[in-house]
Structure 1
């Protein structure tokens, strides 16, 4: 029971538009309780992307879990993804979801190539919305890295290692698509070079999957153009050695991605933001041969901004097993910052930038998005001893830390001394920590 006015008890208001009863979370978990506090870190301030408003800057990055049933989400995904939304993540993005069957990374990957896959996704969407939070989906094609086994089949979870899923266990190693017939690595199948007709059909498949995502009620869509999957294979001169209009100079190598952006933008509501994830570099500069690098990512960012993309989600790597990553806590955040600076310099302030990678602590999450307001409580010291250094990104995308701590948003708020709403049902067990 809740108190509506002195002396009068009423039932808890139900969450609006939800096909089951659950109390309305007002405000949603993760919302700052004192939004007018001049010292409130940017991390807990709202941001608007087209018609979508998020109450804080935390995004659950799409993470493959290899647990779908012929592309259909299951109760596993409902519990897994719902836990993050319940505990304050403003936006949760469903894992890489294949737009055609041979675009799955594994036989157990999520898919959205047929209408029967809409309803299971809708169940997850309804739950996230019941918590007052937002949800998106990442649409993808795995290209030459498709038809592999889930990582737990590889001894010791060896980074970068994988095993081919053969036809007898539901794989399709004879039907891998790529821009050029270049395998991912030794021992992997040689992919088929896509025909122009197949490329055009794939663009339509992305649009059709986007329509299904809208039917399922998602709030935003992200295009997966990173990590060595099909779109990033087209972007890289290492994996794309075509001589037609989809190969050669950057505008040609980016043609597939830009066509997909255009096709999706045309079928989703005007108010819905469109996101794109890229690998800012494939970390192959050490070869002194042409590869995908930060300079080209800056050029691509400008093209995407002009094409109607609302946020660029900046990751890196994944397109070559010989990559040499210069690993440090900000190794990808700094790439995002450089792209964000280039966008501002070139007058493309309408496209936001998200940063991802090794965000494990509240202080790092805060510092990545701190917008430059003078705030000693933020602890972010800028030039000349002033507080409020320039933000490196507008949103922080968090992956594995949410697996370790589904309550990462609430814990970060406690660590930073920010009062935020908790789920109604959990308020008798608040997270209390000393401000660091």
Structure 2
């Protein structure tokens, strides 16, 4: 598939179904798109001690995030330089002072440099030292640690980290600064869900404010029935506080507003969101004012976007302090991870709010995610129907939006999705051949 073929799949107001269905296109994404973009790998709090590692696969490449003896973080390919065996098979753990291959016992320092090999005399006079195999484990060249969020770029093409994310990094700032001391820790495990759909469907849904009223109608109707008749000022249980806004109506979601940034990034809920009505915590708010000053504390706490997307792999919720990680596995298979953060120096109720929200909304069998997963998989099958090979992104399209990198629009505007696909075409094009 050539550049002209790719360009034809993404039009100003619609995209071709092959973006979701084609295994050939997915293979090209693994080779080009994900190599040219910055992808979230993990959080520094997941590797707190020297020798701690986190094993993650990005774009089909097995990677290791490793805490070094000096406290730095290094990212290596999880591959023995000898025969290619993966050095660790667990998702996380501690390697001690070195990595040891389970196949032939070649060993490597934590930075990937070679340490020892059995039968060393057998390599004397050979070309091993001049070969890549003699250099040790391969380290990624493009690694960025931003406020303990670790991102990688596999290839050499594409912009540097700061140029790629730009103002989109403010969503991470908002999340981290909810800690009075400016530090987060991942806690409470992870909710993982493999959805039999293309990864782009999930990214679209992150910016889709029109579906909750129909997709989640039964969940919000049940919650409303339970809460019916209570006084308007009655304190809500946390689960009610989080689920009831899903049924707020089209006008609410339209007025919340959205903003796009270059390279596919976006913020949904620039004015307010379903998270804006959480109960006040006076002692915590006082601690935030003391830590950040009154103006900055108000800015942090009052800004509660629905979703902030660091395209293409990370969705951030400043409140309730949760992230989702999108890990594509195949054209029709996507792994979704939902993680909770504990904000150091903040009351436990914030962490409880994060855990409750993830279980209520992102658990595979929750009353919300179950609806979404059913429809994602239905779309994946429905797109195989003949007669219409296109997916509509026409809502609120305006030709004047073309060429504008940053725009603020109404919250139901599909520009937030169109922006994603334009970035997809841009980064696919960087290394494709004519």
TM norm structure 2: 0.23
Structure with the higher strand share, 1 or 2: 2
| Greater radius of gyration (CA) | 2
Query: Larger relative contact order (C-alpha < 8 A, sep ≥ 6)?
Result: 2
